[in-house]
């Protein structure tokens, strides 16, 4: 089936493309053809075409921004003319990456070292600058906590929930025996799972707020940092390295008086722009909004952009002809302070965070500059070589080469 | 009828204090505090605030106004409302 498109704005199409992955399990595949102004959808057998058509209509009007002011401020832009290089194919060929399931990837060799280098830069520049206290978080989080963070009312589509087999001897025995006799299959989970009470955390900083529940902070507040392996289920949107289901997020988080959060964020934005200059990244740092997956998308997104509640550093991926968000700076106002009763000098605390998606950094860097460190921009190359030398690591590229 | 700036500011200040439960001894609260950054009003509150400004000052505020004008403090909102009234010949 095909559906006509009326708007062709690039942001709009990107949001529609993302959202279409979640409209119905009857959809086998879909394609947006901006030139022909149409969406083509392939449906599975027995699909209800009228229902799918209605839902596509809902998505198209949800992301229609013509009624809303979507303010964009570009704080920094650095464009480089770079060849289109398929970094994913190159990583596979060199065994710097191996996919291990939809949206799951193992990194090794220079790809792993680049990721460690980005982490090291975050530590030495940002955590240092803000005196951020180190925290370690569990990968899973109570669903109740996510609910209190309003996560489910904004992003229900990407949740990966956790469940275990029922505490029932019959269930456990049947599962184990079936695996032994016939091998594991997904059907073995039908009706045998407990209710889900935890989820894999879709974001890094929620644990920080729930762990500070009821705290009365002194002015100006506190700064912390953590790294978390997060999950976001993105349906057909999973794309190796640019949209993983399992990915690594690093954050620096401020909780306290508004002036403290605002000045920290402003300083962090200067630092990230300096980093982009040092590594000669082809990029843009600009106002953004979250992909709220709800009918009030336009209201929420418009307000967030108006208040510059979210800014992103978008690194270009020349081979895909687009950019990906690799760093974001976020302001939450008193949302979490109120949700968890955290106060500063008697008022609800405000919070903000800056976040890095590490796998995306690796992918964007290799996409922009290729696989030979000696050809990388001087700033990146020097940082990389010094980092590798300091780690006293033999170049793992050798270990990754097949015998 | 012309509304004085001080009166417009007071109308807004009283509404915000009451509607968003701002304590009387709140040291940060002022006519120039950023109402959203400082967490006095969130995105849901913003919808209410716009509705109040529209009815109290008998004006319309469009989405493009929100993009074009800084409407983050009591004083900014009062100035905007008074200008809009003047432009409308009220
Ligand atoms: Zn965060």
Contacts of A61 (CB under 8 A, 6+ apart): none
Q: Which of chain B's residues have a Cβ under 8 Å away from the Cβ of A67?
A: 63
User: Does the ipTM surpass 0.90?
Assistant: no
pTM of the model: 0.88
Is the confidence at residue A298, as pLDDT, over 80?
no
* Residues forming a β-bridge with A331: A352
More confident residue, A269 or A301: A269
Average pLDDT in chain A: 92
User: Closest Cα partner for A35 from A64, A63, A13?
Assistant: A13
Does B39 touch chain A if contact means CB atoms closer than 8 Å? yes
**3-class DSSP state for residue A347?**
strand
- What are the pLDDT digits (tens) for A41-58? 999 998 999 999 998 888
Does A162 touch chain B if contact means CB atoms closer than 8 Å? no
Confidence of residue B45 (pLDDT cuts 50, 70, 90): confident
Average pLDDT over residues A283-295: 87
User: Is A71 close to B67, i.e. CB distance below 8 A?
Assistant: yes
What is the reported pLDDT for A66?
64
* Residues forming a β-bridge with A253: A224, A353
Is the confidence at residue A195, as pLDDT, over 90?
yes
User: Closest Cα partner for A347 from B20, B90, B19, B45?
Assistant: B20
Which domain, by its residues, includes B60? 5-87
- How far, in Å, CA of A354 to CA of A349, rounded? 17
Residues 294-313 in A contacting B (C-alpha not used; CB under 8 Å): 299-300, 302-304, 306-307
Q: Which domains does chain A have, with CATH numbers?
A: 2-64 (3.30.70), 74-156+202-388 (3.30.930.10), 167-200 (no CATH)
CA of A278 to the centre of ligand 1 (A): 25
Contacts of A380 (CB under 8 A, 6+ apart): A278, A279, A280, A365, A369
**Candidates B37, B66, B67; nearest CB to A258:** B37
User: Closest Cα partner for A188 from A203, A166, A218, A214?
Assistant: A166
- What are the pLDDT digits (tens) for B12-43? 999 999 999 898 888 899 999 999 888 898 87
What is the enclosing helix (H) or strand (E) of A234?
A: none
Residue A34 DSSP label: T
**Domain count for chain B:** 1
Strands (E), A130-194: 133-134, 140-142, 161-162
Q: Which of chain A's residues have a Cβ under 8 Å away from the Cβ of B66?
A: 69, 302, 306
User: Closest Cα partner for A401 from A183, A30, A95, A146?
Assistant: A95
More confident residue, A18 or B44: A18
CA of A266 to the centre of ligand 1 (A): 16
CATH number for B43: 1.10.1200.10
Cβ(A362)–Cβ(A107) below 8 Å: yes
CA of A204 to the centre of ligand 1 (A): 6
% residues pLDDT > 90 (chain A)? 70
């Amino acid at each position: 089936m095909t559906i006509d498109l009326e708007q062709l704005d690039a942001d709009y199409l990107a949001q529609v493309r993302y959202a279409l992955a979640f409209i119905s399990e009857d959809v086998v595949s879909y394609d947006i053809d901006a030139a022909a102004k149409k969406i083509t959808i392939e449906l599975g057998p027995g699909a209800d075409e009228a229902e799918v058509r209605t839902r596509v209509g809902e998505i198209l009007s949800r992301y229609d921004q013509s009624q809303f002011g979507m303010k964009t401020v570009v704080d920094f832009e650095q464009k480089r003319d770079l060849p289109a290089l398929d970094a994913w194919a190159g990583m596979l060929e060199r065994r710097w990456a191996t996919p291990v399931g939809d949206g799951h990837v193992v990194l090794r060799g220079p790809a792993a070292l680049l990721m460690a280098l980005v982490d090291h830069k975050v530590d030495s520049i940002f955590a240092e600058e803000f005196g951020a206290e180190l925290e370690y978080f569990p990968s899973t989080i109570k669903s109740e906590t996510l609910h209190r963070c309003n996560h489910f009312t904004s992003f229900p589509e990407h949740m990966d929930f956790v469940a275990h087999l029922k505490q029932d001897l019959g269930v456990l025995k049947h599962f184990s025996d079936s695996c032994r006799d016939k091998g594991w299959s997904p059907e073995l989970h039908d009706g045998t799972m407990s209710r889900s009470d935890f989820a894999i955390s879709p974001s890094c900083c929620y644990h920080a707020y729930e762990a500070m529940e009821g705290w009365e902070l002194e002015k100006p507040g506190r700064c912390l940092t953590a790294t978390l392996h997060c999950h976001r289920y993105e349906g057909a949107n999973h794309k190796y390295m640019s949209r993983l289901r399992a990915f690594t997020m690093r954050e620096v988080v401020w909780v306290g008086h508004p002036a403290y959060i605002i000045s920290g964020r402003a300083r962090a934005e200067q630092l990230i722009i300096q980093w982009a200059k040092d590594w000669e990244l082809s990029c843009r740092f600009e106002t953004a909004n979250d992909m709220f997956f709800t009918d009030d998308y336009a209201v929420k997104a418009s307000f967030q952009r108006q208040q510059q509640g979210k800014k992103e550093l978008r690194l270009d991926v020349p081979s895909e002809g687009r950019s990906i968000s690799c760093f974001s700076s976020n302001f939450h106002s008193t949302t979490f302070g109120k949700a968890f009763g955290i106060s500063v000098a008697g008022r609800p605390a405000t919070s903000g965070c800056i976040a890095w998606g590490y796998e995306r950094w690796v992918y964007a860097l290799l996409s922009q500059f290729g696989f030979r460190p000696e050809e990388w921009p001087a700033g990146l190359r020097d940082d990389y070589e010094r980092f590798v030398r300091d780690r006293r690591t033999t170049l793992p590229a050798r270990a990754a080469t097949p015998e | 009828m012309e509304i004085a700036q001080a009166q417009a500011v007071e109308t807004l200040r009283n509404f915000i204090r009451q509607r968003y439960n701002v304590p009387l001894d709140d040291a940060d609260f002022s006519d120039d505090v950023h109402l959203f950054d400082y967490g006095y009003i969130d995105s849901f509150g913003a919808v209410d605030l716009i509705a109040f400004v529209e009815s109290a000052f008998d004006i319309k505020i469009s989405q493009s106004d929100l993009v074009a004008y800084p409407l983050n403090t009591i004083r900014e909102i009062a100035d905007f409302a008074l200008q809009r009234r003047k432009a409308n010949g009220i």
